[in-house]
């Protein structure tokens, strides 16, 4: 299955995964991977706070992820909204979004390396990376699942209306942390058949998981100030996310 060929036309047709404006209270965090510069957004409740790695959707790191990152920091965590496209690369046309997203989906080794480099950068900035959860939206949700399949030693992986299909040749046999999937049943970009297939894969692999579906919620149901936003699904999924972070990252 060529996942990027299946997904990108759907997202383009729906005009989904667009960011919205927000005020920021953290700061830029610059780091490198394979000689290329990346610019994430870092905010922390306190030095040594547990880390949430936040992964952006197909339009790159923008005000939407920054707003979510600040919300996460307010919960008491360190958060790095990672950059998976490169410093200054913030695609604003459908063609550019497809190009950058397609390139990332086609190079899974690079995707994994970028996320691990971001975690390392967050640790150097003061986060406690021994307690960490990766979470993402749309493309970023699929990236979080990619990190789980890679066997990353994190406490949890969260997908909000994310890419759920598993690439050929991959499975969840090496997954360590628990997986939380938050998805809308009215998502026409990532259908419930992908949701069901993932549930079967996780069960077969014996991977700890929880999968929640929200009736009537379309793709990108968490994106503020858009026609796709559904307040009830956003509120309930965020509440479950908060609880999940507390379960995985609280002092033991």
**pLDDT tens, position by position, 136-188:** 999 999 999 999 999 999 999 999 999 999 999 999 999 999 999 999 999 99
Q: In which band, very low, low, confident or very high, does the pLDDT at 250 lie, cut at 50, 70 and 90?
A: confident
Query: Mean pLDDT over residues 26-44, rounded?
Result: 97
Q: Is residue 39 part of a domain?
A: yes
pLDDT value for 251: 62
Q: Check residue 24 and give its pLDDT.
A: 44
Q: What is the pLDDT of residues 194-238, one digit of tens each?
A: 999 999 999 999 999 999 999 999 999 999 999 999 999 999 999
What's this model's pTM, rounded to 2 decimal places? 0.91
Would residue 20 count as lying in a domain? no
Number of domains the chain is built from? 1
Which CATH number characterizes residue 217's domain? 3.40.50.1820
Which DSSP string corresponds to 112-180? HHHHHHHHHHHHHHT-EEEEEEEEEETHHHHHHHHHHHTT---SEEEEES---PPPTT--STT--SEEE
Q: Is the pLDDT of residue 13 over 70?
A: no
- Domain contains 163: yes
Q: Which domain range does residue 228 map to? A: 3-15+25-249
With respect to residue 59, please indicate whether it lies within any of the assigned structural domains: yes
Q: Which helix (H) or strand (E) covers residue 27, if one does?
A: strand 27-33
């Amino acid at each position: 299955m060529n996942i990027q060929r299946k997904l990108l036309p759907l997202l383009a047709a729906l005009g989904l995964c667009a960011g919205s404006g927000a005020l920021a209270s953290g700061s830029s965090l610059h780091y490198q991977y394979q000689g290329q510069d990346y610019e994430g957004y870092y905010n922390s409740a306190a030095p040594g706070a547990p880390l949430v790695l936040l992964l952006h959707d197909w339009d790159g790191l923008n005000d939407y992820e920054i707003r979510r990152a600040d919300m996460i920091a307010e919960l008491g965590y360190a958060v790095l909204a990672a950059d998976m496209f490169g410093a200054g690369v913030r695609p604003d046309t459908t063609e550019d979004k497809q190009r950058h997203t397609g390139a990332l989906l086609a190079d899974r080794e690079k995707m994994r390396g970028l996320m691990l480099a971001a975690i390392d950068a967050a640790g150097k900035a003061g986060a406690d990376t021994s307690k960490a959860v990766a979470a993402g939206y749309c493309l970023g949700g699929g990236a979080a699942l990619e990190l789980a399949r890679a066997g990353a030693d994190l406490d949890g992986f969260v997908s909000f209306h994310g890419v759920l299909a598993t690439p050929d040749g991959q499975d969840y046999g090496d997954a360590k942390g628990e997986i939380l999937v938050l998805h809308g049943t009215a998502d026409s970009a990532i259908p419930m058949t992908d949701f069901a297939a993932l549930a079967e894969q996780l069960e077969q692999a014996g991977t700890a998981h929880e999968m929640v579906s929200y009736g009537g919620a379309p793709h990108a149901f968490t994106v503020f100030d858009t026609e796709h936003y559904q307040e009830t699904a956003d509120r309930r999924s965020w509440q479950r996310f908060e609880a999940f972070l507390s379960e995985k990252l609280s002092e033991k």
